[in-house]
Structure 1
Amino acid sequence: MHLHKQIVARIVLIVLLTFGILTSAWAVGRGIHVIQSGPAYANVGIGAFNAAGVSPGPGYTNPILPELDIEYQTGAKLFGIGSVYGIVANTNGGFMGYTGFYSDISWQHLVLTPVLAFGGYHQGRGKYLDGTFQFRLELTLAYQFANGSRLGLKVAHISNAFIKKSDPGEDEILINYSFPLHFGRLS
Structure 2
Amino acid sequence: MPLLPAGLDVCLSQHQQNLCIEYIDGLCSAAVYRWPVNKWVYGLKFGAKPECAKILGYFLAKQLEQHSWTVDHIASVPLSWIRYFNRGYNQSDLLLKEMLLYIHPLCDVGRHTSLYRDLIRHRHTQPQAKLNQQQRMDNVDKVFKCKTPIMGKRILLIDDVVTTAHTINQAARALKNAGATKVYVGCAALKILD
**What TM-score, normalized by structure 2, do the two folds share?**
0.28
Larger CA Rg, structure 1 vs 2: 1
Structure richer in helix, relative to its length: 2
**What TM-score, normalized by structure 1, do the two folds share?**
0.29
Structure richer in strand, relative to its length: 1
Instruction: State the structure with bigger RCO (CA 8 A, min sep 6), 1 or 2.
Output: 2
